[in-house]
Structure 1
Amino acid sequence: MAVGVVGATGYTGQGLLRILGRHPRVRLAVATSVREAGRPVAEVLPEFDGLYDLRLCSLDEAKRRPVDVLFLAVGHGEAISFLSDYPYLSKTRVIDLSADFRFRDPAVYQSVYGKAVPAGLNRKFVYGLTEVFRKQIRRARFVSNPGCYVTSVLLPLYPLLARRLLRPDGAIVVTSASGVSGAGATPKSETHFCEVAGDYSPYKPLREHRHLHEIEAYLSRFGAKLVFTPHLLPIKHGILSDIAVRVKDAPKLLEEKIMSAWRNAYRGCAFVKPVAHLVRVAETAGTNLAKFAVRVDPETRTVLIFSALDNLLKGASGQAVQNLNVMMGWPEETGLLGRI
């Protein structure tokens, strides 16, 4: 199966190339780069030497070369632009890693990202939180991959709220920390090594971070509101989200009920692992795994959930390929097991 990656030299694009190179059912046929068009993939990205005998191409050239599946690993607004005149759209499956088609309501996307999304095109997309919306993804031709912070929060919370096992008494407080790769490959002074090494700092708190609005969009059916504070970790990749939910009653027994609900919700899922110990970022780095744990404090009626994943894999490229596997009816773990 011929696959194309638009935005192959960004971090999520590189992650896709890494996974697709070990996937037995696909062949990379198109890889784009605005800056490096015309150069061999292995010359720009030496880790792929011997794996890909392919030159990077421009966006215009990609539109002249049909593929079976197209991954869009581009900035917000760029996926809309590319697809607006993509001539093979009716014959191609699309998996978009930008935020362009994540919101069911185009008006919400426009208010958060300041760009308009065509309502007709937006309706074609299914939200790609694999373990929650697997049935819809299986029937889809267009999938919008969730954000990395969003995945770390929705995976543990969604089944608990859906089963009414958690009934928040007030806002859910989420404190997340991500590696620097979450800021993307484009150099910025605030993510320069000398700025982040040895430091730990909050950024875009409360309603400033766009992922807060995406999380609330999918928890709104449960009436949930969030207080969200992301932090920058001086590591390359990985996310740890601490999720504090105050409830009306929090007996110690609630811990086992939550673990049982997770096991039931994610039974047979290769990449979601509820665990008894407190999770660490290093456990999931370089994998497509999401791991979470829970502790309950009856005195303060607080449920505290710890959720870890790799922001570039389960939070981006890994989940995108997982969605491809689901769409095609292939084993979900194809190309994704072990360290990537």
Structure 2
Amino acid sequence: MDADVARRYHSFAAWAAGSSPLYAAWAEGVARDAELTDRIGRLSEREGQPNLVFAAARWVGCGLDPFPRWRERILAAWDDLVQVAATRRTQTNEAGRCATLLPVLAGIPGPIALLETGAAAGLCLFPDRYAYSYDTPAGAREIAPDTGARGIPFLPCRLDDVTSAPSRMPEVVWRAGIDLSPIDVTDAEAVGWLETLIWPGSVHDDRVARLRAAVAVARADPPRIEAGDILDRLEGVAAQSPPDATLVVFHSAVLLYLDAEERRRFADLVDGLGARIGRRVLWLSNETAGTLAEIDDRMSPGLNPTGSFVQTVDGIPVALAGQHGGTYEVSPFRL
């Protein structure tokens, strides 16, 4: 048995247990299976990650059966699964995350330019075109575009403090993204892969409908997404933003795919970006704890952010953000 693969899948099972019981059962089954851990161990770490293996299995028709039957199917379809894992990526493009970006974006005065690193299909580049409902201790707060467009995504989010509820839409005048493998929102197969990346389970059922509604918004005005490494392309794309707008460089669950040295390089790039391109730049990050040591050092020792992103503004933690946008907690960072 490949002990490293078993450890990674066991850890994934614990993480997925409260969100997708089926994925948790699959991961636990893999972690205890000598043949599967051996096969996965022959893949690169990127290709063998649980999210990708499970999505690839679904993509090649292995279904959503309990582990014993699912195991038989993926072994029979293993060569096809490996090919999918080698050519596709885990680009979970969750528009619901905009509900946790909006509290910060709405507080920026004047026009803003959005630059998302790891943009996938760019569905998070349209926070000003979705509708939101914030459940706060003081009651519901709703906000939507003035256009009155029908069929736009409706994003619910629970807040722990009514003062963090946005009262206006940001004035977005420019938007762009960077991704190693941009997804064309007009490509039905590519969008189908995005749907396959959504975990099975009742808590995720609404995400499929949200994805389809967000794709419709993006198809009406396809976002510009530059292909390339964010470390190589960031400054060049950023310099194309309007000079009179605040440039917001943002990302969600992207830095975990970089190694420690690359994360350090990215943080240093963003830190000095404004001076190099002559813009006001704000860095808005939704990443898991452990991404950058200086951010972890700024959090209270007893804080447990498991299951949430630590949202930071210019490297300062400001909130715990639900990974799919469902919650936004600022109280852990209030003095």
TM-score, normalization by structure 1? 0.29
Write 1 or 2 for the structure with the bigger share of helix: 2
TM-score, normalization by structure 2? 0.29
